[in-house]
A and B are shown apart, each in its own frame.
Chain A
Amino acid sequence: MSLTLLIVQTLNGLQLGVLLFLIAAGLTLVFGVMDFINLAHGVQYMLGAYLAVMFYGLTGNFLFALVLALGAALVFGLILEFAVFRHLYDRDHLDQVIATFGIIIFLNQGVKLLWGASPLSLPMPEIFSGSVVLMPGILYPVWRLVIIGSGLAVALILYLLVGHTRVGMLVRAGATNAPMVSALGVNIRRLFMIVFGFGTMLAGFAGIMIAPILSVEPGMGDTILILAFVVIVIGGIGSIRGAFLAALIIGLVDTLGRSFAVDILRLFMAPSPARTVGPAIASMLIYLLMAVVLYLRPAGLFPAKGRA
C-alpha cells in the first residue's frame, strides 16, 4: 500500500465521484422537483457516449462531437419527456418505474441494433492524451484530470444557477413544495421541462466525458444508474449539495475499497481467503454505507428542507 498508489487511487476516486455527481445532479432534481423516479436516466448517460462516438465518426473532431452529442442528448431527452414522461408526473411511482424500465430495455437493445453489440471506443483529444507528473514518480493521465476539472466546474455552475438565479429559486421552491409554487402562478410544467432537459444533458455530458477511458457498450448505464441512486439517497433526495458530497464519498469509498480491501484484510487473515473475500467486501462497501446512513438518518445526510 504505497503512498504513490494511494494518491493515484484517491484521484481516481475523485474522478468517479465527479462523474457520479454529473449523473446524480439531474436525477435528484427530477426526483426532488417533479417527484419522478426516472430509471431511464442511466441510459441517457449511455446515449451520450454513443452519440459522441457517432458524431466523432462523422466530424473527426472531439469538440464538435461533444457539442453535437450534448445537443442531441438534450433533444432526445425532451422528446422522451414529451412522448412519455409528462403523462406520468401525477401518477404513482410504480407506473413511472415500469415505464422507465421499459425505456431502458428498449434503448439497451436499440443501441445494439444501431451500433452492434461489441464495445466501441472514442479517441480522446490529442492535447489531453498524455500523462502529467504530479510529483516525482507519480504520473497521472491528463484526461482524468480534465474530467475532475470539468465536473467541479459544472458543480460550481449548478451552485450558482440553483442558488443565485430566478430559475434556481423556483427549482428550489419546487423541490420543497411544488403545488404551492404552481399556485403562485409559475408555469410548473415549463419548469419541469427545463429541469428535465438540463438533467438529461448533464447525464449525457458524463457519458461523453467518460467514453475515452471506458468502452462504450450496451448496458453501461445500468450499473452507474444504481450508483447514482445510492448517491442521491445518501445525500438526501432533492438536495444538490447532498448529491455532491455523497458522490465524492461514494466515489472515494468505492475506488479505495476496491484497491485496498485485500491488503487491509491481509492484516487480519491469511492471504488466500483475503483474496476471495476482499473483492466481495469491496463491492458491498457502498451498499453497507448506504444501509448504515439510512439507518441512522432515514432521510439522507442533507435532506432538502421541507421534504424530510
Chain B
Amino acid sequence: MAQLALSRGGAPRRSLLAGNALPILVFAAFALLPLFAAFKAEAYVLGLVTRVMIFAIAALSLDLLVGYGALISFGHAAFIGLGAYAVGILGAHGLHDALITLPVALAVSALFAWVTGIVCLRTKGAYFIMITLAFSQMAFFIATSLAPYGGDDGLTIRVRSTLAGSPILANDRALYYVCLACLIGAYLLCRALIASRFGRVYRGARENAARMGTIGFEVYRFQLVMYVIAGMLAGLAGFLLGNATDFVSPAFMSWQRSGDLLIMVILGGMGTLNGAIVGAAAFLLTEEWLSGLTEHWKVIFGPLLVLVAVFARGGLIGVGTRLRGMLRG
C-alpha cells in the first residue's frame, strides 16, 4: 500500500516494483518450486504446476480477447487442440523436432484464427459467443473423424519434441522451465501489445467501436489481428500441453474445455493479465485439491463458482484490490 502511495508521489524506481509485485512474486514462486518439490512427490508437483502454467498461457491469450476486446470467445480450446495435434500428427510421421512442429502448430492456429475470425468478427455479443463455439465444434468433430490418428480415442505422443535434435524436453524439469519461459514471454508480449498504439486502438474499440471507426481506424482489422495473435498463443499452449501429457484427443477441443478457460479468466479477473494467471492457478489447484478430498468434489466446486460470480465482482484480483483498499481505510 505504501508502495502504491509512493508511486503516485512519482518515485520511478519504487513505482516499477509496485505495479509488478504480483507477477514477479508469481514467476519467482514458479521458478523456485522445483527446488522444494524435490523433497516431495516431485513428478506429481512438477506435472501439476506445468499444467497450471500451460493453462495460464491459454488464459492470458483468451484475456486479450475477452478482457481487453469484449470479444467473448467460447471456442478458445480449439487452438489448444490444434497445437497439440500438430505435435501428435507430425510425431506419428517421425517429425519430432520443435523447430518443425512448433512453427507448424503456430501456423495452423494462425490460419484457423484468421479464416474463422473473418466470419466471427462480423457478429457481436451473444452471436459472437455462439459462432466461435460453432467453429470450435467443427474442429472438434474433424478431430473425432481422424481415424488414422486415433479418432475419438485420441493419440499417444510417443516421443516428446526434440530441440534442434537434442531430447532435452524428455526431462520433466527442463519441460517445466521451458513452460515457465513461455509463460513469462507470453505475459510480456501481452503487456507490450496492450500498451502499444495497436493495443490502445483495440481497447478503444471495446469501449466504443463506432467512435474508433469515426476517428478513422478500421476496428475490424485490429480485432482480426488480435484474434490471430491470441489464437497463436493458445496454439503454443497446445504445443506445450501435448508434450506435457504425451497425449492428445478431441476432448482437448471440447466446448467444456473452452468453458473452463473462460471461467479461469473471469475467476481471476478479466482485463488484468495477472488475473488470467491467478485464475488458471486457482481453478486447477482448487480442482486438484477438492478432487483429493472427495469423489463428489464437483458438488462443492459448482457452488464455489456461483459464489464467486455473485459476490466477487472483478474476480479474485478485484477482491484483492478491494481488500487492499479497505486496509488502507
Chain A residues within CB distance 8 Å of chain B: 31, 37, 84, 87-88, 93-99, 101-110, 112-113, 222, 226, 229-230, 233, 237, 276-277, 279-280, 283-284, 287-288, 290-291, 294-295, 298-300
Cβ of A225 to closest chain B Cβ, rounded Å? 10
A87 with B310, Cβ < 8 A, contacts A106-B298, A106-B303, A233-B126 known: yes
Q: A105 and B145: CB pair below 8 A?
A: no
Beyond A102-B306, A105-B305, 13 extra complex contacts between A and B, CB < 8 Å? A94-B270, A95-B310, A99-B309, A106-B303, A108-B298, A109-B302, A113-B296, A226-B133, A229-B130, A229-B133, A284-B138, A294-B123, A295-B119
Main secondary structure of the interface of A (DSSP, over half): helix
A84 to B296 Cα, complex, angstroms: 22
Which residues of A lie under 8 Å from residue B299 when comparing CB positions? 106, 109-110, 113
Among B197-249, those with CB < 8 Å from A are none
Q: Which residues of A contact B147 (CB under 8 A)?
A: 276
**Minimum CB–CB distance for A158 against chain B, Å:** 22
Which residues of B sit under 8 angstroms from A108, Cβ to Cβ?
A: 298
Q: How far is the CA of A99 from the CA of B125 in the complex (A)?
A: 18
Residue in A106, A107, A113, A222 whose Cβ sees the most chain B Cβ within 10 Å: A106
- A-B contacts, 24 of them at CB < 8 A, read A88-B310, A97-B259, A98-B262, A99-B305, A101-B263, A102-B302, A102-B303, A102-B308, A102-B309, A105-B302, A106-B306, A107-B302, A109-B296, A237-B127, A276-B145, A283-B144, A287-B137, A290-B130, A290-B131, A291-B135, A294-B123, A294-B131, A295-B119, A298-B122
Determine if B138 and A287 form an interchain contact, defined as CB atoms under 8 angstroms apart. Answer: yes
Q: B267 on the interface (CB 8 Å rule)?
A: yes
**By the criterion CB–CB under 8 Å, are B72 and A93 in contact?**
yes
CB distance from A232 to the nearest CB of B (A): 9
* CB within 8 Å for A291 and B134 given contacts A84-B310, A99-B305, A113-B299: yes
Taking CB as reference atom, which chain B residue is nearest A272? B147
**0/1 string, B46-74, CB within 8 A of A gives 1:** 00000000000000000000100000100
Is B324 located at the chain interface by the 8 A CB criterion?
A: no
Distance to closest chain B CB from A90 (angstroms): 12
CA distance A183 to B50 in the complex (A): 54
Alpha-carbon distance between A31 and B129 when the two chains are bound, in angstroms? 14
| Given A88-B310, A291-B131, A103-B123 contact (CB < 8 Å) | no
| Chain B residues within 8 Å of A102, by CB | 301-306, 308-309
Least CB distance from A279 to B in Å reads 7
Complex Cα spacing A107 to B308, Å:
17
Closest to B308 in A: A98
CB pair A277–B145 under 8 Å, yes or no, is: yes
CB distance from A25 to the nearest CB of B (A): 17
Residues of A within 8 A of B302 (CB): 102-107, 109
- With A94-B72, A94-B270, A229-B130 given, is the CB distance from A280 to B305 under 8 Å? no
Chain A residues with CB below 8 A from B263, complex form: 98, 101
Taking CB atoms and an 8 Å cut-off, the chain B residues in 102-130 that contact chain A are 119, 122-127, 129-130
- Nearest A residue to B142 by beta-carbon distance? A280
State in angstroms the CA–CA spacing of A233 and B142 once bound together: 23
Q: How distant is the Cα of A106 from the Cα of B307 in the complex, in angstroms?
A: 12
| Residue from B144, B256, B298 having most chain A Cβ neighbours under 10 A | B298
Question: Nearest B residue to A295 by beta-carbon distance?
Answer: B119
A37 to B259: give the CA distance in the assembly, Å.
Answer: 14
Q: Is the CB of A284 within 8 A of B142?
A: yes
Q: What's the Cα separation between A152 and B310 when bound, in Å? A: 38
Is A97 touching B123 in the complex (CB atoms < 8 A)?
no
Closest to A108 in B: B298
Of chain A, the residue at the smallest CB distance from B123 is: A298
Least distance between A247 CB and chain B CB atoms (Å):
15
B140 shortest CB reach to chain A, Å:
8
Q: Does B30 contact A (CB under 8 A)?
A: no
* Chain B residues with CB below 8 A from A295, complex form: 119, 122
Return chain B residues, CB-CB under 8 Å to A107.
302
Contact check, B309 vs A37: say whether CB atoms are below 8 A apart.
no
In this complex, which of B66, B119, B145, B296 has the most chain A Cβ atoms within 10 angstroms of its Cβ? B145
- A94 and B145 contact, Cβ closer than 8 Å, known pairs A106-B298, A291-B119: no
Residues of A close to B138: CB separation below 8 A:
284, 287-288, 291
Q: How far is the CB of A34 from chain B (nearest CB, A)?
A: 13
Using a CB-CB cutoff of 8 Å, which residues 124-160 of chain B contact chain A? 124-127, 129-131, 133-135, 137-138, 141-142, 144-145, 147
For B122, what are the chain A residues with a Cβ–Cβ distance below 8 Å?
Answer: 294-295, 298
Is B255 at the interface (CB under 8 A from chain A)?
Answer: yes
Q: Is the CB of A280 within 8 A of B145?
A: yes
**Would A97 and B266 be within 8 Å (CB), given that A84-B310, A88-B310, A290-B134 are in contact?**
yes
B130 touching A230 by the CB < 8 A rule?
yes
- State in angstroms the CA–CA spacing of A283 and B254 once bound together: 14
Which residues on B sit within 8 Å (CB–CB) of A95? 266, 309-310, 313
Q: Is the CB of A103 within 8 A of B72?
A: no
A112–B295 CA distance with the chains assembled, in angstroms: 11
Of A101, A113, A290, A299, which contacts B305 at CB under 8 A?
Answer: A101
Distance between B310 CB and nearest chain A CB, rounded to angstroms? 5
Once the chains bind, are A284 and B123 in contact (CB under 8 Å)? Answer: no
Q: Which residues of A contact B266 (CB under 8 A)?
A: 94-95, 97-98
Q: How far is the CB of A274 from chain B (nearest CB, A)?
A: 11
User: How far in angstroms is the closest Cβ of chain A from B277?
Assistant: 18
B227 to chain A, nearest CB (A): 15
**Measured CA separation A300–B131 after assembly (Å):** 11
A280 touches B141 (CB 8 A): yes
Kindly report which residue of chain B lies nearest to residue A105, judged by CB atoms: B302
CB-CB < 8 A to A237: which residues of B? Answer: 126-127
Given contacts A31-B126, A94-B266, A97-B266, contact A230 B134 (CB under 8 A): yes
